[in-house]
Amino acid sequence: MTTIEVQAGTPLDAYVPLLGRAEIEEIRTLARPLRGRTIQMINSTSVGGGVAEILNRLVPLALELDLQITWDVMAGGPDFFEVTKAFHNALHGGAYLHRPEDFEIFARYTEQNRARLPLDADFTVIHDPQPAALVEGRERQALDLAVSHRSLARQRERLELSGAVRHEI
């Protein structure tokens, strides 16, 4: 497990000409009640792929908003990534022939990472299938999010979260 140090990025105000002042100010308003809360992002790579692209930009923006955000990358050998790639392809509708050892490999690396990584942030966001089972290591008092970028990307959605009143439709 590696904690990624992200360089300072583009400040929020640089987005005002693109999005308008109202959108940016609202982000600041939404972040204010979360100031000081700890947020942990977990994925499986620091470079390449959509999640790394997002986090490289999202983490500096969150820091600018005084959120205590960290980004951890899980460790795994070639056998682990071969298995999770097969899972990934199956989730995309590809053919997948289950081998008994696949889930053993997946469970073994998950357990190794879980032993090394404290999952004690106020919010933990787990990206993609590779670290998905780490969610079992969380105590249930906090809000957890397991994000499937496959489905979200497919739907061209952005996942946004803030806290206050929740309207059940």
Partner 1 sequence: MKTAQLPFEFFTVAPLIRVGNEVVETLAELRDGLERCSDASIFHHTFQTLGRHHFLTEGFSSDFAQWVLTATNRRELAEQLASLDIGDYLSIAELRSDLRRIVASYCDLFPQYANQTALERFWFCEGIEVSVPLDRCASTLEELQAGVEQMSHASFFFHFVSSRMRLHLRTNDFSLWLSRELGLERLAADVNRIDIYTNTLDSARAALVRLLVREARSA
Q: Is 160 in the site for partner 1 (CB under 8 A)?
A: yes
36: left (phi over 0), alpha (psi -120 to 50) or beta: left
For partner 1, which residue of 3, 10, 13, 25 counts as binding (CB under 8 A)?
Answer: 25
Stretch of residues binding partner 1 (CB under 8 A), selected from 9-17, 20-28, 69-77, 120-128: 20-28
List the end-to-end C-alpha distance of the chain, in Å, as a whole number: 40
103: left (phi over 0), alpha (psi -120 to 50) or beta: alpha
For partner 1, which residue of 26, 45, 80, 88 counts as binding (CB under 8 A)?
Answer: 26
CA 95/CA 160 separation, integer angstroms: 32
The minimum distance between CB 164 and partner 1, in angstroms, equals 4
Q: Is 30 in the site for partner 1 (CB under 8 A)?
A: yes
Please report, as residue ranges, which positions from 135 to 154 form the binding site for partner 1 (by CB under 8 A): 148, 151-152, 154
Residue that the structure tokens 């692209």 belong to: 53
Question: Would you give the DSSP letter of residue 136?
Answer: G
Stretch of residues binding partner 1 (CB under 8 A), selected from 2-10, 17-25, 68-76, 104-112: 17-25
Closest CA to 126 of 31, 43, 49: 43
- Footprint of partner 1 (CB under 8 A): 20-23, 25-26, 29-30, 148, 151-152, 154-155, 157, 159-169
